[in-house]
Structure 1
Amino acid sequence: MATYHSGEIAVQERAGLARQAGFSLGGIGESVPPVARDFLAEQPMIVLGAADRDGRLWATQLTGEAGFLRVPDPRTVLVDALPLPLDPLADVLTGPSAVRVGMIAVEPATRRRMRINGRARREGDGLRVDLDQVIANCPKYLQKRDHHRAGPAEGGAAEPTVTAGTALGPAQQRAVRAADTFFVATASDRGDADASHRGGNPGFVQVLSPTLLRWPDYAGNAMFLTLGNLQLNASAGLLFPDWATGTTLHLSGTARTVWDAEQIAGVPGAQRLVEFSVEAVREITAASPLRWTSPGYSRFNPPVG
């Protein structure tokens, strides 16, 4: 039976949406229905969140040809891909031990998405994920894009390179300010991981300093799975994909929810704010072979002040 943990319940109650969240429980299951199985089989990308060997949370992406995500039975997902050696989660996802992961598959062309949480273990050249949660999500704030695989002229054969640090450089700050999409990985106090999507018009993520970001929490499905985890465990990881070049910007740090009414009122559409303190940065060029078109912005995106 689907249930909420104490952090999720606390945020739902503080937001005054506990009753609405109760209805949302119908969107949380333990197995993949046939329509979701077919959806996964069509996807070329999945985002995954987990903790590294030092306990830092990161978000990353795995890619493949359509069919690289398979559902051999309703409680299992097979991923025919492993992270790049330069990836912040490469060590744990290619090791012998099971890892608690949160995953989200998005299809920007149709604005569909679904979340899958469970325990991943390497199996050959991929991952076997035993499922704990399968979560349906609404399409709000997801920008419409189509994709193709990069050819040689687009850097499709380029060797990945990595830049690491503890703060955002000037170009990375510009990339974050221009972003209309990012993904966030969180975990409960028990370590159960989750990965979610955040979207808005460019500028919805504010760079307050090289080590501090802030974004609005818009009206959603009232589950508060991300904010509920942050209520119990401040660790978080962010992934900013460069849709045009295949570069990925990975951030790890801590996050907190801001409930101050005066600060919230200054951000159009915000129900709450989230502040993220950057502790580790890893930027990987040529991380993805996928190239995506310019976005068609969601009609639900609030204006950016």
Structure 2
Amino acid sequence: MAFYQAMPWHEGEEKIHKLTRLPSADNPTHPMLPPMLAARISRSPTIALGTINNEGRVWCTVWGGDVPIAQQVARGGVLGIRTQVDASFDPVVQALYGGRTDGEVVQNDPKAGRMVSGLSIHLEERDRVKLFGRMLAGSLSVEGAGNADANASSEGEESQEGVNGTRGTTGNAQLVLHITQSLGNCPKYLNKKHITSYATAKPRLLSDSPILSAEAISHIQSADTIFIASAGPEDMDCNIRGGPPGFIRIIQQETQTQSVLIWPEYSGNNLYQTLGNLTLDARAGIVVPNFQTGTILYLSGTTEVLIDESAASVISKTRLAVRFTVTAARFVADGLCFRGTLSTSNKDVSSSNPAVSKNTADGMSPYNPRVRYLISELDEQTQKDNLTSSLPPNEYRNNTSKNNDTERTAALVKKTKLTPTITKYRFRLASDSGTSTTPLWQPGQYVILDFSEELYMGYSHMRDDDPTSLNDDFIRTFTVASSYVAGRNEIEFEIIVRNVGSVTRWLSWQNDRGMLSVGVKGFAGTFRFEDLKVRGADRVNVFVAAGVGITPLLGQVRKDEEEEAGRLIVLWTLHVRDIGLVAEVLKVVSGAVRMQLFITGTSDIAETSTEVQLLAEIESKLSEGRVTIQRRRMGEGDLIGVEAKFGVKVANWYLCTTPAMRKQVQEWLPGKVVDFENFDY
């Protein structure tokens, strides 16, 4: 049995631990390669490697193929790697073998060999082992190649202009490393992939410009996995970053002088070895593979670690992120000598949490948070179409009224269940909230509620029962479904919520005795229907809503102004199981708007069901002409036929639906500006 003293943290790791307020703990890294980790490595079909070339650039690559790609070949942590690689454009291959492709052995000083970091990874089993060591020897053999193969650049040599489409070759690589550090890492953000060898790869250099092309940007945006190599004071690190496609952001400067990548650092094992390196040495290498097509993007550059507000300002709802500025790149088609497809063989679908089964059905990690965008990240046309949309939570501080400078609290005082999954909640603001003469919110705005005090349970490495909770700030936005009433000592607001996630599910369990108090971070958003008094009498606004998307209407109805009644036409679609919401809404808007209701799902349930009976009761009580109900789906003709049906001209289109339906409606209304409530961030 071997015993060893825990390795010390270096200065950069200690600094990032302090910045992230991490309590002190021992470094779990092994100063050797234990047999248990060696056995895990021998079962893995892929390995990512990082090194520093003679120009001082940090590069990263990923190799893969038939098992074993790597295995211990001698005592004392001697690891052998053997696989097929891109011999022409892989920058790590060029750094390790110095351009030799004739199979001759390249030897290093055992004590001062080239530093190499590694990550042995079995994506299908969600298993990984981090490695660091020094190169002892290696060889690269390309069939028919001499010492100066025309397609293989030598160590440190950058490709020349005009190489777009240059053909390369593959070769058989052997590499021997002396491993002096190892660590078995957690599987949290590994997206499962089944790896197979691809012996017929024919690498082709698409670009070597550090300014990323549109094709390279699209390649990054579709990636769910990247590997990153970084340099410490006396060693190197190689690790993986995974997430849903789109988790990496690209900032391409208008001047086209540099390309910048930003990615969030999700809640991990709290070691921060990569970030510790980057706080001391900003250099890093990234490789972005497309496992299905074999296209691969190699990037080298400099980094900046973003913490708290600096992180939240670029990626919504994140406390930690990395900004990477590209200084060198290689974009290679068919550069992987292996292929990977998303695996649907899951070992974690037995969890009682329905989110786990749902998120792992396609092999994606259940811990992946969804991508949340800032308004500034939306494309130009979306911004134009969304001039009245709401603002992301992390921007509310600069976009709310002066009354929102101090966070308030609100107590739940009434709870009304409208359907099995939809509930109306009334909250009462703390007593000092009504002291201002300025309304706390305007019609159409949303409230930002902070549930973290109730739901955050502190740091946890893994939560198989509720994976997505580890990256949840428990801040939610809900459209205010009531008008502000001035002059009251007790200020109350209502929200109508569907039970769709951890926070709303927890909220549905609470009682309304005034015991629950949540933080109110403010009110924001400008989704408001235009006042049409100055327009012609035949001008109307049209609001298209789906399900609980009707809530922006409830705070804006104007039943007190008879001349304005009917200046808003509402097209609302929802499933019959939500018919209880219809009864609630009609209490508020009856007589104030003209509404067409489209009820779906009636053919799937019996006429004697509670839902269909309630629907029939509502239909029997409708006043003539103001509200009509049709038992079918809303269609394109319902929208484009509004003007003819009602004898009016549409001044503005408004929309609050799911993103899928939003896209459909926009296709039905080509050339029309559609203002929508946006929750894509």
Shared topology, TM-score over 0.5? Answer: yes
Does residue 9 (structure 1) correspond to residue 14 (structure 2)? The answer is yes
* 2:34 aligned partner, one-letter code: P
Give the 5 Å matches for 1:31-50: 31-50=32-51
Q: Map of 1:18-97 to 2, 5 A cutoff?
A: 18-19=23-24, 22-23=25-26, 25-26=27-28, 28-72=29-73, 73-81=75-83, 83=85, 84-95=87-98, 96=106, 97=108
Paired position in structure 2 for 1:235: 283
Q: Does structure 1 conserve the Cα–Cα contact (< 8 Å) formed by 2:37 and 2:184?
A: no
> Would you say 1:186 and 2:186 are equivalent positions?
no
Q: Please report the TM-score for the alignment, with normalisation by the length of structure 1.
A: 0.90
1:96-118: per-residue Cα shift (whole Å, max 9, x none)? 44210110011111111110011
Asked if the contact 1:218/1:272 (under 8 Å) is kept, the reply is: yes
Q: Distance in 1 between matches of 2:286 and 2:189?
A: 17
Deviation at 1:32, TM superposition (A): 2.4
Q: Distance in 2 between matches of 1:65 and 1:176?
A: 26
- Say if 2:239 is the partner of 1:196: yes
The corresponding residue for 2:209 is: 165
> Is the Cα–Cα contact under 8 Å of residues 286 and 299 in structure 2 kept in the other structure?
yes
Flag structure 2 segments of 5+ consecutive residues without an equivalent: 99-105, 140-172, 253-257, 343-361, 373-681
Provide runs of 4+ in structure 1 moved above 3 Å: 265-269
- Whether contact under 8 Å (1:187, 1:236) holds in the other structure is yes
Counterpart contact for 1:268–1:302, Cα < 8 Å:
no
Change (3 A) 1:74 1:18: farther
Partner AA of 2:197 in structure 1: R
Alpha-carbon distance, 1:91 to partner:
2.9
How far apart, CA to CA, are the structure 2 residues paired with 1:262 and 1:285?
Answer: 35
Matched length: 295
Identical residues among aligned pairs (%): 29
Give 2:127's match in structure 1, choosing from 112, 131, 143: 112
Corresponding residue SS for 2:95 = helix
Cα pair distance change 1:262/1:61, threshold 3 Å: closer
For 2:322 and 2:296, the matched residues in 1 are separated by: 22
Consecutive unaligned residues of structure 1, counting only runs of 5 or more, are 151-155
Q: CA deviation at 1:258?
A: 0.9
Hey, what's the Cα distance between the residues in 2 that align with 1:122 and 1:269? Answer: 46
Say which structure is richer in strand: 1
Alpha-carbon distance between aligned partners in 2 of 1:201 and 1:101, rounded to the nearest angstrom: 29
Partner of 1:146, secondary structure, is strand
Q: Which residue type is aligned with residue 364 of structure 2?
A: Y
**C-alpha separation between the residues in 2 aligned to 1:118 and 1:266?**
36
| Partner Cα distance (1:157, 1:59) in 2 | 23
Greater relative contact order (Cα 8 A, min sep 6): structure 1 or 2? 1
Question: In terms of Rg, which structure is larger?
Answer: 2
1:293 aligned to which of 317, 321, 341: 341
Residues 93, 121 of structure 1: 8 Å contact kept = no
User: Displacement, 1:85?
Assistant: 2.9
In 1: Cα distance, 2:125 partner to 2:54 partner: 36
Q: Secondary structure at the match of 1:89?
A: helix
Pairwise CA distance, 1:68: 2.9
Corresponding residue number in structure 2 for 1:122: 137
Q: Please, which moves more after superposition, 114-123 or 6-15?
A: 114-123
Contact kept in structure 2, 1:140 and 1:300, CA below 8 Å: yes
CA contact (8 A) 2:52 2:58 kept: yes
Alpha-carbon distance in 1 for matches of 2:123, 2:76:
24
How far did 1:246 drift? Answer: 1.4
CA distance in 1 between partners of 2:96 and 2:79 (Å): 15
Displacement of 1:187 = 0.1
How far off is 1:71 after superposition? 0.6
- Give yes or no for contact 2:64–2:197 (8 Å, CA) kept in 1: no
> For residues 221-280 of structure 1, what are the alpha-carbon distances to aligned partners after superposition, in whole Å with 9 as ceiling and x for unaligned?
111111100111000010001110112110000011012426427735633111000111
TM-score (norm. length: structure 2)? 0.42
